[in-house]
Amino acid sequence: MRTAVRTDRELECPRVDAGLRARGVELITLPEGIPEAELIEAVADAELLLMCYTPITARVIAGARHLRGIVKYGVGIDAIDIEAARQRRVPVVNIPEYAEETVAEGAFALMIALARKLGPLHREMQAAGWAWPVNQWLGHDLAGKTLGLIGVGRIGRSLARMAGAGFRMRVLGFDPFVDRESMRRAGVEKCDQLTDLLSSSDFVSLHSVLNADTRHLIGRAELAAMKPSATLINVSRGALVDEDALVEALVSGRLAGAGLDVFSQEPLATIGHPLSRLFGLPNVLLTPHLTFYTHEAMERLEDETLARCDELLEGRPVLVKSHDPRLRSQTHGVVLA
Q: Catalytic annotation on 65? A: no
Q: CA 331 to CA 69: how far, in whole Å?
A: 13
What is the 8-class DSSP label of residue 239?
G
Of 237, 304, 308, 311, which one is the catalytic site residue? 237
Q: What angle do CA 42, 44, 49 make, to 5 degrees?
A: 70
Of the candidates 57, 9, 54, 49, the residue with the CA atom closest to the CA atom of residue 31: 9
Does the annotation mark 237 as catalytic? yes
- How big is the CA angle at 324 (ends 320 and 329), to the nearest 5 degrees? 70
Active site residue 12: no
CB atoms within 10 A of CB 176: 8
**Cα 140 from Cα 257, distance rounded (Å):** 12
Q: How far is CA 89 from CA 68, 93, 207, 296, in A?
A: 9, 13, 30, 34
Given 289, 302, 311, 326, the catalytic residue: 289
- Could you tell me where the DSSP H helices lie in the chain? 14-22, 36-42, 58-63, 82-87, 100-115, 118-128, 154-161, 167, 180-185, 194-200, 220-225, 243-252, 295-313, 325-328
Report the alpha-carbon distance of residue 108 to residue 336 in Å, rounded: 31
H or E stretch including 129? none
Residue 1, strand partner residues: none
Nearest to 188, CA basis, from 218, 225, 147, 217: 147
Q: CA separation (Å) from 45 to 3, 20, 28, 139, 254?
A: 7, 16, 11, 57, 53
**Comparing C-alpha atoms, which of 58, 91, 100, 45 is closest to residue 72?**
91
Catalytic entry in 10, 12, 38, 266: 266
**Which of helix, strand or coil describes residue 144?**
coil
Query: Which residues are the active-site residues?
Result: 237, 266, 289
